[in-house]
């Protein structure tokens, strides 16, 4: 019940619809019993047992006609109120599904890197589809059937007691048995449905990973292994679903068995009551009793089904609630974030910043000042903390100790929307959407002009959503593509900027994907631009054009370029070297060459790699050169 209580806010949004619908169900259930009363009067009139007095006149044709019209009127009335129910409860359940999905997606957007590092895409997709559908079925079909069962029991037992308390006690005797068995099976259904949904999430996640990594699977020719692994996971899901069916399936059969026994006893006892001398229990009353019990049969059979639906819905809601309960580690702290800060210039400073993952130190006592408008190059061996440095600036994480400032403000006092609106990041592995090149480049344009989507409110009477701009400014998109060295490639495509990309941009080469991501970052005209090893997949000539474009972009804004190639870094205003999380070198290209440290040796190795390009074993990869340099230092 605690889990259901957390669902009440969504039900309260549709209180009027549920009240009207549930009242309509109760009325329809009661009206459905009227035909059996009219049938009783008809039978007793035909048999001369209207009141047990032989002198009472029997049934006339006119009276039979009125009874027939009454049966039809009762059916029409019950059908009308069932229509009212569906137009309210079923519609409300669909609206609640929309509201939960809207709020769940909005909440997922607030979660940070720490959550998504642990979550699996397939699992989240399964919760947004399968689990949410189970909750909707509970709120719709389950809700009105529960009221149908309760009102059916109340009205039917009231009628049956008025006809014969002896026969009613037979029916009442089976109720404790039903309740006991249902209580046990309900707990089993809840546990087993949750286990089945968890396995379903694993299967969805595995399928999603295989579809996304199809080229890797085929490249290593391991299709058979992946098929076997997927088959094993499906067999486990089959096993769990069969285990669920073993407790879910017997419910209706068990109910049918008990009702069959009840009908047998009622036929035996009811027949004796009718045949007893001087009995006031008539044949029409017996038919009405059996008809009323038959009307109660469906609700009694539905108890098992509704128990299953309710338990499945509650188990699925618990899985959705786990997502709702997840909170970002990095967020705006109430009372600390200064909402007056709307723009940033790009002045960056790190004051004795240390970051640890458990016992591992990633950054160690780093102090750095980057004035606004500076072109900063960052290099160092693999695993030295370069990427983490960029992530600290966007508050993807907070430092363990020390302070990161922009424009003299502690990042924790800058609203995340302001901070991230002023920074564009090109990650090592760019993500592109299955959309046109133009929309991929213009993805972040005009995002701040859109109103926030209200959550926790009813969709009933809500205004239609605002149109989201789908056509970014062509001039801005084209200029960004030029600066990123992508324009010539795009103009060679038959459809130009309207060329549709496959999922994750698989129809482009690695270098084209990187340049598209760079253009997407540039087009926003951010105060701070961070490129995290985003030129590794381009040739030297393209790299030169991109760097020239970045130098043009860097006028008036701060650019942080993380790279391994000295040719990429040489034109930066400042260059820093990180080794084992420590800042070991800082200065211009010429200054660092004069120091003779890591940067100078990296430059020498890459220059030799260029000279030895025709040899059997060249060191053509700059990252490999950096790793080789690190290996040399260890050997010394």
pLDDT in tens, 422-445: 888 888 888 888 888 888 888 877
Average pLDDT over residues 316-323: 89
- At 43 the pLDDT is 84
- For residue 484, pLDDT beyond 70: yes
Between residues 175 and 636, the one the model is more confident about = 175
Beta strand 558-562 with 375-379: parallel, antiparallel or unpaired? parallel
Non-local (6+) Cβ contacts of 455 within 8 A are: 102, 103, 106, 107
CA distance linking residue 382 with residue 388, whole number of Å:
12
CA distance linking residue 307 with residue 183, whole number of Å:
9
- At 449 the pLDDT is 59
Beta strand 401-406 with 348-357: parallel, antiparallel or unpaired? antiparallel
CA distance linking residue 487 with residue 516, whole number of Å:
10
CA distance linking residue 596 with residue 629, whole number of Å:
13
Tokens representing 300 are 């009694």
- At 617 the pLDDT is 47
CA distances (Å), 215 to each of 132, 206, 224, 506, 507, in order? 32, 15, 14, 9, 12
Structure-token match 């049934």, residue found: 59
Residue 212 has φ and ψ, to the nearest 5°, of -70, -35
- For residue 292, pLDDT beyond 90: no
Between residues 405 and 230, the one the model is more confident about = 405
pLDDT in tens, 82-115: 999 989 998 999 999 999 999 999 899 888 888 8
Chain-wide mean pLDDT for the chain? 82
- For residue 618, pLDDT beyond 50: no
pLDDT category at 301 given cuts 50, 70, 90 is low
Annotate 78-146 with three-state secondary structure.
HHHHHHHHHHHHHHHHHHHHHHHHHHHHHHHHHCCHHHHHHCCHHHHHHHHHHHHHHHHHHHHHHHHHH
The sign of the CA dihedral 339, 344, 348, 349 is: negative
- At 635 the pLDDT is 47
Tokens representing 54 are 């032989």
Tokens representing 365 are 């006592």
| Counts of helices then strands in the chain (DSSP H, E) | 26, 10
- At 613 the pLDDT is 56
Average pLDDT over residues 339-360: 86
Torsion angle of the four alpha carbons 163, 169, 175, 180, in this order, in degrees rounded to the nearest 10: 170
Q: Which of 116-125, 445-454, 626-635 has the lowest mean pLDDT?
A: 626-635
| Residue 398 near residue 412, CB atoms below 8 Å | yes
Give the DSSP H or E segment for 282. Answer: none
- For residue 20, pLDDT beyond 90: yes
pLDDT category at 570 given cuts 50, 70, 90 is confident
pLDDT in tens, 238-257: 988 888 888 777 766 777 77
Q: Which of 122-136, 421-435, 528-542 has the lowest mean pLDDT?
A: 528-542
- For residue 190, pLDDT beyond 80: no
**pTM score, whole prediction:** 0.76
- At 611 the pLDDT is 64
CA distance linking residue 55 with residue 49, whole number of Å:
10
CA 607 to chain centre: 50
Structure-token match 């949410």, residue found: 132
- For residue 636, pLDDT beyond 50: no
Q: Which of 154-158, 195-199, 214-218 has the lowest mean pLDDT?
A: 214-218
Structure-token match 């050997």, residue found: 635
Strand partners, 377: 561, 575
Between residues 584 and 213, the one the model is more confident about = 584
Count the neighbouring beta carbons within 10 Å of the beta carbon of residue 257. Answer: 12
Q: Find the angle CA(284)-CA(286)-CA(288) to the nearest 5 degrees.
A: 70
pLDDT in tens, 355-367: 988 788 899 999 9
CA distance linking residue 161 with residue 500, whole number of Å:
71
- For residue 81, pLDDT beyond 90: yes
Query: Which of 197-206, 219-228, 363-372, 563-572: highest mean pLDDT?
Result: 363-372
Count of CA atoms in the C-beta half-sphere (13 A) of 441:
34
- At 447 the pLDDT is 56
- At 623 the pLDDT is 52
| Residue 416 near residue 422, CB atoms below 8 Å | no
Tokens representing 566 are 């000295």
Q: Determine the straight-line distance between the first and last CA of the chain, rounded to whole angstroms.
A: 67
Beginning with the edge strand found earlier in the chain, give each strand of the sheet holding 574-579 in spatial order. Answer: 423-426, 528-532, 558-562, 375-379, 574-579, 582-587
The conformation of residue 408, written as its DSSP 8-state character, comes to T
Average pLDDT over residues 618-632: 51
Q: Which of 366-375, 408-417, 459-468, 515-524 has the lowest mean pLDDT?
A: 459-468
Structure-token match 């019993």, residue found: 33
- At 616 the pLDDT is 45
Annotate 334-350 with three-state secondary structure.
CCCCCCCCCCCCCCEEE
């Amino acid at each position: 019940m605690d889990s259901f209580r957390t669902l009440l806010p969504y039900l309260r949004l549709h209180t009027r619809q549920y009240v009207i619908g549930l009242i309509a169900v109760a009325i329809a259930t009661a009206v459905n019993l009227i035909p059996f009363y009219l049938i009783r009067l008809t039978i007793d009139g035909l048999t001369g047992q209207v009141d047990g007095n032989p002198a009472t006149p029997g049934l006339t044709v006119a009276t039979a006609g009125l009874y027939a019209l009454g049966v039809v009127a009762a059916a029409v009335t019950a059908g009308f109120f069932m229509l009212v129910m569906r137009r309210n409860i079923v519609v409300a359940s669909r609206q609640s599904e929309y509201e939960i999905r809207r709020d769940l997606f909005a909440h997922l957007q607030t979660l940070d890197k720490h959550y998504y590092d642990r979550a699996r895409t397939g699992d989240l997709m399964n919760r947004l589809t399968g689990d949410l559908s189970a909750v909707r079925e509970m709120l719709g079909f389950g809700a009105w059937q529960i009221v149908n069962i309760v009102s059916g029991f109340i009205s039917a037992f009231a009628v049956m007691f008025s006809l014969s308390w002896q026969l009613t006690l037979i029916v009442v005797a089976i109720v404790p048995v039903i309740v006991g068995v249902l209580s046990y099976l309900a707990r089993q259904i809840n546990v087993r449905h949750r286990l089945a949904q968890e396995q379903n999430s694993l299967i969805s996640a595995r399928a999603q990973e295989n579809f996304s990594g199809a080229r890797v699977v085929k490249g290593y020719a391991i299709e058979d292994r992946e098929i076997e692994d997927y088959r094993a996971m499906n067999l486990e899901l089959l096993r769990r679903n069969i285990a669920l069916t073993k407790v879910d399936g017997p419910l209706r059969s068990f109910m049918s068995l008990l009702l069959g026994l009840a009908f047998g006893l009622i036929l035996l006892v009811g027949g004796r009551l009718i045949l007893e001398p001087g009995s006031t229990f008539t044949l029409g009353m017996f038919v009405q009793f059996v008809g009323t019990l038959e009307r109660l049969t469906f609700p009694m059979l539905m108890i098992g089904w509704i128990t299953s639906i309710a338990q499945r819905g509650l188990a699925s809601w618990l899985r959705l609630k786990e997502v709702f309960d997840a909170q970002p580690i990095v967020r705006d702290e109430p009372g600390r974030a200064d909402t007056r800060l709307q723009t940033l210039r790009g002045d960056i400073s790190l004051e004795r910043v240390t970051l640890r993952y458990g016992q591992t130190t990633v950054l160690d006592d780093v102090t750095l000042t980057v004035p606004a408008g500076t072109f900063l190059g960052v290099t160092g061996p693999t695993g030295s903390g370069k990427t983490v440095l960029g992530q600290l600036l966007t508050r993807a994480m907070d430092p363990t100790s020390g302070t990161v400032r922009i424009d003299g403000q502690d990042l924790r006092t800058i609203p995340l929307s302001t901070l991230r609106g002023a920074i564009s990041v090109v990650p090592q592995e760019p993500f592109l959407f299955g959309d046109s090149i133009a929309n991929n480049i213009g993805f972040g344009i005009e995002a701040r002009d859109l109103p926030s989507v209200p959550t926790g409110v009813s969709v009933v009477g809500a205004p239609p959503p605002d149109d989201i701009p789908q056509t970014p400014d062509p001039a801005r998109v084209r200029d960004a593509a030029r600066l990123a060295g992508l324009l010539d490639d795009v103009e060679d495509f038959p459809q130009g900027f309207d060329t549709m990309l496959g999922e994750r941009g698989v129809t482009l080469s690695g270098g084209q994907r990187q340049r598209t991501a760079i253009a997407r970052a540039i087009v926003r005209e951010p105060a701070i631009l961070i490129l995290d090893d985003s030129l590794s997949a381009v040739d030297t000539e393209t790299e030169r054009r991109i760097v020239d474009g970045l130098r043009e972009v860097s006028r008036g804004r701060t650019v942080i370029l993380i790279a391994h190639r000295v040719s990429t870094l040489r034109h930066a205003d400042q260059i820093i070297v990180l080794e084992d999380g420590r800042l070991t070198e800082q200065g211009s290209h010429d200054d660092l060459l004069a120091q003779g440290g890591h940067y100078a040796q990296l430059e020498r190795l890459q220059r030799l790699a260029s000279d030895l390009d025709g040899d059997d074993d060249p060191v053509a990869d700059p990252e490999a050169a950096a790793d080789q340099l690190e290996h040399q230092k260890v050997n010394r």
